[in-house]
Amino acid sequence: MSATLKLEALTAEAFTPFGTVLDTAAAELRMINGGTTERFHALTMADTETEGGRTILSLFRGQPRAFPYAVDMMERHPLGSQAFFPITQGDWIAVVAPDDDGRPGAPRAFLVPGDVGVQYDRNVWHHPLIAVGQVSDFLVMDREGGGTNLEEASYDTPYLIADPAS
């Protein structure tokens, strides 16, 4: 039997135990390039240097998930943070969980607006990217380097996310 996972509205306060919300509305705005460009300054700081790691920027293209969607596993990156910022402008879902003695605890699911990103702190359990309704591109800032920087764990009983459109 599966438990239903309720989608929560994303707020900086609710997401703080897991990382940082990357929202231009809350960023320091600097005008640059002779006043022709808005710079949303220092949305987050990468945590990637553990064990000689370095920060990289990649493009991820997420395929839309079918709903109801079963969250049956989580992953975490013990050596570095991981930031996702959508560039397609479609809502998406971030699922995170507290650590429960080395395994993911009960997850929380956040409906993330298509113009907002998140950074998962180092060692935070999270589900892989969940695109909603369309193929979605994301700029992803994370760690490259030696060491084991991926742990995965399965849930005995999956959690279901209902269709966010309903």
Please give the Cα distance from 127 to 152 (Å, whole number): 9
Please give the Cα distance from 137 to 145 (Å, whole number): 24
DSSP state, residue 139: E
Q: Examine residue 120 and state whether it is found in any structural domain, yes or no.
A: yes
How many folded domains does the chain comprise?
A: 1
pLDDT at 2: 81
Q: Examine residue 51 and state whether it is found in any structural domain, yes or no.
A: yes
Q: Examine residue 56 and state whether it is found in any structural domain, yes or no.
A: yes
Q: Examine residue 141 and state whether it is found in any structural domain, yes or no.
A: yes
CATH of the domain at 73: 2.60.120.480
pTM: 0.93
Query: Whose CA is closest to 97, among 124, 119, 60?
Result: 124
**Low pLDDT (below 70) residues in the chain:** none
Q: Examine residue 76 and state whether it is found in any structural domain, yes or no.
A: yes
pLDDT at 1: 74
Q: What is the pLDDT of residues 23-59, one digit of tens each?
A: 999 999 999 999 999 999 999 999 999 999 999 999 9
Please give the Cα distance from 132 to 151 (Å, whole number): 25
pLDDT at 78: 98
Q: What long-range pairs does 65-68 form, CB within 8 A, spacing at least 24? A: 65/93, 65/130, 65/131, 65/132, 67/161, 67/162, 67/163, 67/164, 67/165, 68/160, 68/161, 68/162, 68/163
Q: Say if strands 19-22 and 7-9 run parallel, antiparallel, or are unpaired.
A: unpaired
pLDDT at 16: 97
pLDDT at 166: 77
Sign of CA dihedral 57, 58, 63, 65: negative
User: Does residue 17 have a cis peptide bond before it, meaning omega lies within 30 degrees of 0?
Assistant: no
Question: Is residue 124 within 8 Å of 91, Cβ to Cβ?
Answer: no
For residue 74, what are the domain limits? 3-161
DSSP state, residue 63: P
pLDDT at 113: 97
Q: Examine residue 166 and state whether it is found in any structural domain, yes or no.
A: no
Q: Examine residue 12 and state whether it is found in any structural domain, yes or no.
A: yes
